[in-house]
Structure 1
Amino acid sequence: MKRVVVTGIGMINSLGLDKESSFKAICEGKTGVKRITSFDVSDFPVQIAAEITDFDPLTVLDGKEVKKADRFIQLGIKASNEAMADANLGDFDASKFGVSSAAGIGGLPNIEKNSVTLAEKGVKRISPFFIPSALVNMLGGMVSINHGLQGPNLSSVTACAAGTHAISQAAKCILVGQTKGMLVVGAEATICGVGVGGFAAMKALSTRNDDPAKASRPFDADRDGFIMGEGAGALVLEEYESAKARGARIYAELVGFGESGDAHHITSPSLEGPLSAMKQALSMAGDDIRVDYINAHGTSTPVNDKNETAALKQAFGANVPPVSSTKGQIGHCLGAAGAIEAVISIMAMRDGIMPPTINYTTPDADCDLDYVPNVARKADINVAMSNSFGFGGTNGVVIFKKL
């Protein structure tokens, strides 16, 4: 089969509008978690999130197109543009270049808005752009139009594993020779009344409204839920020989991926599902691959962090490499998380630095690994793994190797 490499990356989140500024802030241990400003949260039990407050959609779309694109699409276009420019493709065969997009929920703010419009003003006031702007796959549709990508146009809608699944789905297209390249983009923007209210009703979110900066506490004994984030991550994947022939700058090779289902519970994870995905990825990578760093799913929920720690111990035995969760800095970006965290993992390899797990102050007996607590760590990272696990028991793992 073909080899798959990464030649371009892009990212936007609550700490930065581009990959360089946001990665720097992540490694400095800063956080984008703050009181929600996009709608009135005074009556909500959860009033904090990792919002992007300084993004202007007119920087990526003209005024007419902005109306057709929900916020998650706008953010995805921003990250995609950065990744495509970063790859510096020049002339390429558009028929052999596709897109693999991802979101967990898609245009939830538009669904909320138009539902209210229907109830209060009637059916004739529903926006004609409502459906196109809300569809998850319209992210890939608009991105493919922007860049003229005529290869496969795929979309993953697998909750918090979607971004990671979009990477593996894109890789499969290249591995079997269907395409020469794929643009992967995962995006999410669900910080709205229905989104925050829905997750709060599940008791999934932290309620530390009085201390937003310390609310997300992955692997800490006092963790009480995740923080909603928004953002997008994008990667340009190419067939290795093709990328090499054009003289591309290669960030990393995708050497392994795994996908599994828990078949257990709609929201509570099993040990076997995440473990299976990790084992698949490690097996595909090969016995000569030694993972140096793991970007964990690490949501800051009591069950996930304990379960992921146990799965890591079974996958790696006594030799679990350093692990960190960057969700304390940028929140949990749901369907975009896997794409964003893959970009973070690749940049960690590039710069030789492990991002920290911030707000780690009280050790948990059930979470006893090296979580790179609070301060980034310089390290020679040749292989990085990124985990993503979603509601419905859907799991995805990717492994990248520096070339």
Structure 2
Amino acid sequence: MEQQKQHIVIRGCGVISPLGFDAASIAQAYLNGTPAFTQIPHQGTPTPVAALPAAAELQLQQLVHANPTYKQLDRSVLLAMYAAKQAASQAGWLQENFTSDDDLAVNIGSSRGATGLFEQHFEAFQQEQLSSSASPTTTLGNLSSWVAHAVNAGGAQISHSITCSTALMAVANGVAWLKAGMAKRFLAGGTEAPLTDFTIAQMKAVSIYSKLYDHPYPCQPYAQEKQNTFTLGEGAAVFALEQINQPKAGAVCIEAVGLGFEKLTSKTGISAEGLNFQKAMRQALAQLPEQDRSVDLIITHTPGTRAGDKAELTAIQAVFGSNLPSLTTNKWLIGHTLGASGALSMQYALHILQRQHVPSLPYPHLLVQQPALRYRRIMINAAGFGGNAASIVVGIL
């Protein structure tokens, strides 16, 4: 008797980003195709960023005021908690007045962690006014432990950083834990709140930050500009994952997970051939059914850096050859959210699969797309400093 196939189903998705505070508001933003960028003064220079809109900020502040303890937490932790509660509620897992669920595990990642709070505490340290809360509130472990408290999860609580691949690595970990039987349900995702003086300064120091502060599209993936257009954004997305034998029609499943690494050849770990991307994509494709390893669309990492964007496109060409799928990205709308970017790209994939809608790219020098008649399978790419990359394939039943 043939063994019944197990599916990793996305039972819920929570999200907060420069486009909105739930699936409905963000779907409308994608339909409108309006970029979320504003400009702020940074070190005397106008600087483009993508921050939460007023409606999303109001939602986040309501969470903060729901519990006096939350006021001591970093913004990255609050974003993760907001998204996780939304995902757990959508999945039917949010039972706040009951004892903790030991079969519910959590893995939340961030590239930078409690950046804003750390900067505040360091400034206080320089003035010899350091608070006793500095250490416990700035550890990376806050991400998963506070999320676990917020959703009453009693299983594993994992926080990690693998730079900008972080969120997809968290999802990959969730898939592995579910398949291994080490958890029955899993919340996985990424969060980032990098719109701080020091973080922006770091990105400028690498000479990748966009100077197009007065342009409606300061972040231009695929563009032929003779400059980098990397622009920071903030946000979080978390997914409620469960292994199910017979999912309902229309369910979105994680079909494959691929990881890739390459030896460091530069500060950012990017080779011209995008070897890390190639390895991740090939590994993911190899996990699909042998008779059907096609994908209809790739949501690329492409943060608007000349070297990084070119390397990823070169890698895609090497892997897919003449069967090149359509390509798209959401960074022209929300910028690069570092450790949360893969999760927000994955939420974008859910939007496309469920609504069959891909916004056009209105800024100059577009990458030509050939739309599919129906999007049924999407690959999401992410890569980060250190030579790492991840590819996840999601499909709709």
Alpha-carbon distance in 2 for matches of 1:217, 1:68: 36
The residue number in structure 2 matching 1:34 is 38
Q: Contact 1:267–1:393 (CA<8 Å) still a contact in 2?
A: yes
Deviation of the 1:2 alpha carbon = 4.2
The answer to whether structure 1 residue 235 and structure 2 residue 233 are counterparts is: no
Letter in 1 for 2:325: P
Structure 2 letter corresponding to 1:29: G
Change (3 A) 1:378 1:79: farther
Match of residue 308, structure 1, among 298, 306, 312: 312
**In the TM superposition, what whole-angstrom CA distance separates every residue of 1:211-239 from its partner, at most 9, and x where no partner exists?**
2x221111010152211000001110001
Residue 188 (structure 2) aligns with: 184
- Give yes or no for the alignment of 1:323 onto 2:327: yes
SS at match of 1:20: helix
- Asked if residue 109 in structure 1 is aligned to residue 116 in structure 2, the reply is yes
Quickly say closer, same or farther: Cα 1:118–1:358, change in 2 above 3 A.
farther
**Separation in 1 of the partners of 2:237 and 2:79?**
9
Structure 2 CA distance, aligned partners of 1:219 and 1:98? 37
Equivalences for 1:89-238 in 2 at 5 Å? Answer: 89=93, 94-119=101-126, 121-122=127-128, 125-211=129-215, 213-222=216-225, 224-238=228-242
Distance 2:150 2:260 in 1: 33
Partner of 1:366: none
CA distance, structure 2, for counterparts of residue 132 and residue 402 of structure 1: 41
Structure 1 range deviating more: 263-272 or 278-287: 263-272
Q: CA RMSD in A?
A: 2.1
Once the two structures are TM-superposed, the CA of residue 205 in structure 1 deviates from its matched residue by: 0.8
1:284 matched to 2:282? no
Letter paired with 1:4: I
Paired residue secondary structure (1:77): helix
CA contact (8 A) 1:2 1:176 kept: no
Q: Deviations over 1:118-169 (max 9, x none)?
A: 11x20xx222332233222211111111111112212230111001101001
Measure the CA separation in 1 of the matches of 2:104 and 2:326.
Answer: 36
CA distance in 1, matches of 2:249, 2:140: 31
| Higher mean displacement: 146-155 or 20-29 | 20-29
User: Which consecutive aligned stretches of 4+ in structure 1 deviate over 6 angstroms post-superposition?
Assistant: 90-93
CA contact (8 A) 1:8 1:251 kept: no
**Matched letter for residue 383 of structure 1:** R
Cα distance between partner residues in 1 of 2:6 and 2:396: 17
Post-superposition offset of 1:24: 2.2
Deviates more, 1:251-260 or 1:387-396: 251-260
Correspondence 1:388 to 2:389: no
Structure 1 stretches of 5 or more lacking a match? Answer: 364-368
Q: Give the Cα–Cα distance (whole angstroms) in 2 for the partners of residues 68 and 186 of structure 1.
A: 20
* Alignment match, 1:86: 90
Range with bigger deviation, 214-223 or 302-311: 214-223
CA distance in 2, matches of 1:355, 1:157: 30
Q: 1:148 to 1:181 in 2, by over 3 A?
A: same
Q: Letter of the aligned partner of 1:6 in structure 2?
A: I
Report the counterpart of residue 362 of structure 1 in structure 2. 365
- CA distance in structure 2 between the aligned counterparts of 1:215 and 1:118, rounded to whole angstroms: 36
Instruction: Report the Cα offset of residue 371 of structure 1.
Output: 4.5
Name the SS for the 1:310 alignment partner.
Answer: helix
Structure-2 separation of matches of 1:70 and 1:131: 12
Q: Is the 8 A contact 1:203 1:225 kept in 2?
A: no
CA contact (8 A) 1:268 1:303 kept: no
- Tell me how far 1:66 sits from its aligned partner: 2.6
What secondary structure does 2:72 align onto? coil
SS in 2 for 1:256: strand
Partner of 1:43: 44
What TM-score, normalized to structure 2? 0.90
Cα distance in 1 for residues equivalent to 2:250 and 2:15? 17
Match status 1:15 vs 2:9:
no
**Deviation, structure 1 residue 262:** 1.5
Q: TM-score, normalised by structure 1?
A: 0.89
Aligned counterpart, 1:59: 62
Gaps in structure 2 of 5+ consecutive residues:
none
